[in-house]
Amino acid sequence: MITIKSAREIQLMKEACKVAFLAHKAIEESIQPGMTTYEIDKIAEETIRKNGGIPAEKGYPSGMQGVPNYPASTCVSINDEVIHGIPSKTRVIKDGDIVSVDLVALKNGYNGDMARTYLVGNVSPEAKRLVEVTKQAFFEGMKYAIKGNRIGDISHAIGEYVKSQGYSVVREFQGHGIGKEMHEDPGIPNYGKAGRGPRLEPGMTLAVEPMVIEGKPDIWELEDGWTITTQDGSLAAHYENTILITEKEPKILTIL
Ligand code: MG
């Protein structure tokens, strides 16, 4: 079921999204070679808690037998890791790495979801371009995040743009509705046919999140049951915002 948020709920969504934004701002200002992914996680957790939020990814159920609930406040995925990298005290960020950080702030019962891929130190032009295309893919999707359009219009715009740039989108994971739950209906694939899927209505809040691979789209899941990597070892990037469908342009709630 797709939930339409009331004016009061939209206000609460904005507050949760602001906390997610502040956590990313703190990471952006401090990320550098030599840091561990655990340190990134702590910066995010402290910023979220200091601003009255809870890091919602911590304890999130895996849904798979034998795989523990998610142990950290963020997902930190480096280079060929696509998503769901588990922060670790032994994982050191190196000069030239691209580092995807995905986090969800829960505040007053509502969730704000946001991901960025950070360029650390001297990043290759190829990696930089991948990160830029991933961000632009989100904004290509936004051109269609308009009342009366369909979810498939967003998906199609993202997928076609990524393809036109010579990259692949991840097919096994997708964007999603968001609100009281981190993951609500509808699912928002990063590829698909225009004109399909649920119609967009004012008051819908959606997490739109292109996940883009430099090479082939195939992925592996590592033995930890969480980390997703590219099969061909090529780089991956992620860009996500929580947005609100309005009477006119979409409002991006995780950019302040
Ligand atoms: Mg996310």
Task: Report the C-alpha gap between 7 and 238 in whole angstroms.
Answer: 30
pLDDT bin (cut points 50, 70, 90) of residue 90 is very high
Q: Which tokens go with 152?
A: 């498939």
- Count of alpha carbons within 13 angstroms of residue 238, beta-carbon side: 31
Over pLDDT 70: what percentage of the chain?
100
pLDDT bin (cut points 50, 70, 90) of residue 81 is very high
When pLDDT is averaged across residues 59-64 and rounded to a whole number, the result is: 94
In the reported structure, the alpha carbon of residue 182 is separated from the centroid of ligand 1 by a whole-number distance in angstroms of 9
User: Using one digit for the tens of pLDDT, what is the confidence trace for 217-256?
Assistant: 999 999 999 999 999 999 999 999 999 999 999 999 999 9
**In 86-214, alpha helices (H):** 125-142, 151-164
In the reported structure, the alpha carbon of residue 84 is separated from the centroid of ligand 1 by a whole-number distance in angstroms of 9
DSSP assignment string, 31-45: --TT-BHHHHHHHHH
- The three-class DSSP label of residue 171 is coil
In the reported structure, the alpha carbon of residue 232 is separated from the centroid of ligand 1 by a whole-number distance in angstroms of 24
In the reported structure, the alpha carbon of residue 56 is separated from the centroid of ligand 1 by a whole-number distance in angstroms of 10
Q: What is the pLDDT of residue 147?
A: 98
In the reported structure, the alpha carbon of residue 119 is separated from the centroid of ligand 1 by a whole-number distance in angstroms of 18
Q: Which tokens go with 209?
A: 């999140």
Beta bridge partners of 114: 103
User: Using one digit for the tens of pLDDT, what is the confidence trace for 159-177?
Assistant: 999 999 999 999 999 999 9
In the reported structure, the alpha carbon of residue 6 is separated from the centroid of ligand 1 by a whole-number distance in angstroms of 23
In the reported structure, the alpha carbon of residue 16 is separated from the centroid of ligand 1 by a whole-number distance in angstroms of 13
When pLDDT is averaged across residues 89-98 and rounded to a whole number, the result is: 98
- Count of alpha carbons within 13 angstroms of residue 2, beta-carbon side: 19
Fold of 7-252: Creatine Amidinohydrolase (3.90.230)
In the reported structure, the alpha carbon of residue 198 is separated from the centroid of ligand 1 by a whole-number distance in angstroms of 21
Q: Which tokens go with 154?
A: 């967003």
Which residues lie closer than 8 Å to 176 by C-beta, 6 or more apart? Answer: 182, 183, 184, 185, 186, 187, 188, 206, 207
Long-range contacts (CB closer than 8 Å, 24 or more residues apart) made by 164-167: 165/133, 167/130, 167/133, 167/212, 167/213, 167/214
In the reported structure, the alpha carbon of residue 209 is separated from the centroid of ligand 1 by a whole-number distance in angstroms of 7
Q: What is the pLDDT of residue 132?
A: 98
Q: What is the pLDDT of residue 192?
A: 98
- What average pLDDT does the structure give for the chain? 98
Q: What is the pLDDT of residue 227?
A: 97
Task: Report the C-alpha gap between 96 and 126 in whole angstroms.
Answer: 11
Q: Are 253 and 244 in contact (CB under 8 A)?
A: yes
Q: What is the pLDDT of residue 97?
A: 99
Q: What is the pLDDT of residue 210?
A: 99
Beta bridge partners of 85: none
Q: What is the pLDDT of residue 135?
A: 99
Q: Where are the domains of the chain?
A: 7-252
In the reported structure, the alpha carbon of residue 174 is separated from the centroid of ligand 1 by a whole-number distance in angstroms of 10
When pLDDT is averaged across residues 19-36 and rounded to a whole number, the result is: 98
Q: What is the pLDDT of residue 111?
A: 99
In the reported structure, the alpha carbon of residue 110 is separated from the centroid of ligand 1 by a whole-number distance in angstroms of 14
Residues with C-beta atoms within 5 A of ion ligand 1: 102, 113, 115, 240
User: Using one digit for the tens of pLDDT, what is the confidence trace for 37-46?
Assistant: 999 999 999 9
Task: Report the C-alpha gap between 52 and 82 in whole angstroms.
Answer: 29
In the reported structure, the alpha carbon of residue 240 is separated from the centroid of ligand 1 by a whole-number distance in angstroms of 6
In the reported structure, the alpha carbon of residue 102 is separated from the centroid of ligand 1 by a whole-number distance in angstroms of 5
C-alpha separations of 157 from 15, 52, 162 in Å? 29, 36, 9
In the reported structure, the alpha carbon of residue 172 is separated from the centroid of ligand 1 by a whole-number distance in angstroms of 15
In the reported structure, the alpha carbon of residue 83 is separated from the centroid of ligand 1 by a whole-number distance in angstroms of 9
